[in-house]
């Protein structure tokens, strides 16, 4: 059984179809990427799979649970790091994790150990007593990932995890995401605009175009479809089509820039 399965998953906003009949199967332990231009529907898919937004039509299951009729069960087995800042700058790193440990109903007897393990795993032990407002963008992202994995979820959703980060911080986040997948077998779904990131992290990619599935393949498979020596950027351009001016939305671009400003 797939860890994530969607059939004809659809989301409409009035007359606009943001996600159009999406069929998707993601296997347990896979790092799966959702890529596409601004407005392609990536974040909308994530919001439906994390139960934040109900589908207009179709079905979706996560770890065998229906995202509509079994939403509470879905939320217990997932972690989610949104584009927007989710850490509180006026709390320390340790205090942020303690808040999430309580939200996830982690038993009191286990909280300290879980928090210390998460800090160690994300290389944040020394920074734990400091206010988060003093952290760099990369440290904040690692803390947010630590928050979302305290309850040891089966599936972790990362929505534009490195937007606004410098190249060094971006690679550090990649390393920790890869370790989560390798050491714990966590299934990871990531949205990104960076083809370098998609190639570094993902086993397979789904390219979305105007809310619909354009193609699903491995990074190497996508490049091979274009021709010898092709890059993933070229594959992305081929399967999304059109020009940048025809794509995207004010809301999506504004959200991305706000996230970049907070983490930059």
Number of domains in the chain: 1
pLDDT of residue 261: 52
The parts of the chain modelled with pLDDT lower than 70 are 242-264
Q: What's the CA gap between 260 and 134, in Å, rounded?
A: 17
**Structural domain contains residue 105:** no
Are β-strands 31-35 and 204-209 bridged in parallel, bridged antiparallel, or unpaired?
A: parallel
**Structural domain contains residue 178:** yes
pLDDT of residue 250: 43
**Structural domain contains residue 242:** yes
pLDDT of residue 243: 46
Other CB atoms within 10 A of residue 146 CB: 28
Catalogue the long-range contacts made by 196-200 (C-beta closer than 8 Å, 24 or more residues apart).
196/232, 197/162, 197/170, 198/33, 198/35, 198/232, 199/232, 200/174
User: Could you tell me the residue range of the domain that residue 230 belongs to?
Assistant: 4-86+154-263
Q: What proportion of the chain, given as a percentage, has pLDDT over 90?
A: 87
**Structural domain contains residue 167:** yes
pLDDT of residue 244: 43
Left (φ > 0), alpha (ψ -120 to 50) or beta: where does 134 sit? alpha
pLDDT of residue 249: 46
Kind and range of the H or E element at 178?
helix 167-184
**Structural domain contains residue 210:** yes
**Structural domain contains residue 113:** no
46: domain CATH number is 3.40.50.300
**Structural domain contains residue 145:** no
**Structural domain contains residue 252:** yes
Kind and range of the H or E element at 177?
helix 167-184
- Label residues 162-173 b or e (16+ Cβ within 10 Å = b): bbbbeeebbebb
pLDDT of residue 46: 97
pLDDT in tens, 2-25: 999 999 999 999 999 999 999 999
pLDDT of residue 246: 43
């Amino acid at each position: 059984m797939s860890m994530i399965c969607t059939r004809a998953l659809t989301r409409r906003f009035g007359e606009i179809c943001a996600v159009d009949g999406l069929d998707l199967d993601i296997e347990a332990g896979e790092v799966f990427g959702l890529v596409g231009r601004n407005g392609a529907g990536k974040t909308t898919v994530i919001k439906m799979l994390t139960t934040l937004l109900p589908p207009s039509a179709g079905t979706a299951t996560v770890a065998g649970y229906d995202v509509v009729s079994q939403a509470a069960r879905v939320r217990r087995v997932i972690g989610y790091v949104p584009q927007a800042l989710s850490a509180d700058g006026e709390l320390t790193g340790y205090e942020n994790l303690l808040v999430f440990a309580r939200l996830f109903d982690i038993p009191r007897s286990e909280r300290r150990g879980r928090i210390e393990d998460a800090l160690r795993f994300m290389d944040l032990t020394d920074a734990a007593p400091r206010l988060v407002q003093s952290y760099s963008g990369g440290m904040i992202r690692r803390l947010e990932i630590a928050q979302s994995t305290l309850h040891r979820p089966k599936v972790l959703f990362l929505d534009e995890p490195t937007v606004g980060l410098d190249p060094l911080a971006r690679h550090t986040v990649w390393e920790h995401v890869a370790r989560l997948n390798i050491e714990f077998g966590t299934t990871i779904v990531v949205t990104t605009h960076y083809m370098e990131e998609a190639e570094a992290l993902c086993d397979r990619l789904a390219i979305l175009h105007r809310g619909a599935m354009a193609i699903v393949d491995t990074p190497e498979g996508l490049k091979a479809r274009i021709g010898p020596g092709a890059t993933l950027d070229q594959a992305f351009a081929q399967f999304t089509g059109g020009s940048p001016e025809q794509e995207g939305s004010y809301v999506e671009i504004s959200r991305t820039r706000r996230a970049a400003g907070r983490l930059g």
